[in-house]
Amino acid sequence: MAAWTLMNLVAATKRILMVMAGLTLLAACDPDGKKECAWVLEPEPKLDGQTDPGYIPLCARNRTTMKEDCRLQATLEYAQKVYGRKFRYVDLRVTSAGSPRTIAKIKFCDGD
């Protein structure tokens, strides 16, 4: 009886370790592509009027994974300057957590 219980304990431990390894693997992947250098900022006219005065609504879009974040705003001058430049979503910094979120800084993939 003790040997059977020990075998069950070993088998259960192996299963737990396999599940933990699988969860670690899932947590390490990037299903939304936030670490990919494939994001661009684009104006979003449908959200016009929902930003603070002096700002325009923007979406960060990844056309590879078809993901987007349209809670962003920036000045027209900044939006024109960064239009079409690729960045990683994880390198996007905002000044406010609410909506709309004002873009503070982006580290672009072209090194600037």
Span 4-51, pLDDT tens digits: 677 777 777 778 777 766 655 555 688 888 999 999 999 999 988 889
How far apart, in whole angstroms, are the C-alpha atoms of residue 25 and residue 69?
25
How far apart, in whole angstroms, are the C-alpha atoms of residue 27 and residue 89?
17
Q: What pLDDT score does 25 carry?
A: 53
Of 73, 11, 6, 62, which is closest to residue 34 (Cα–Cα)? 62
Compute the average pLDDT of residues 44-60.
92
φ and ψ of 51, to 5 deg:
-110, 170
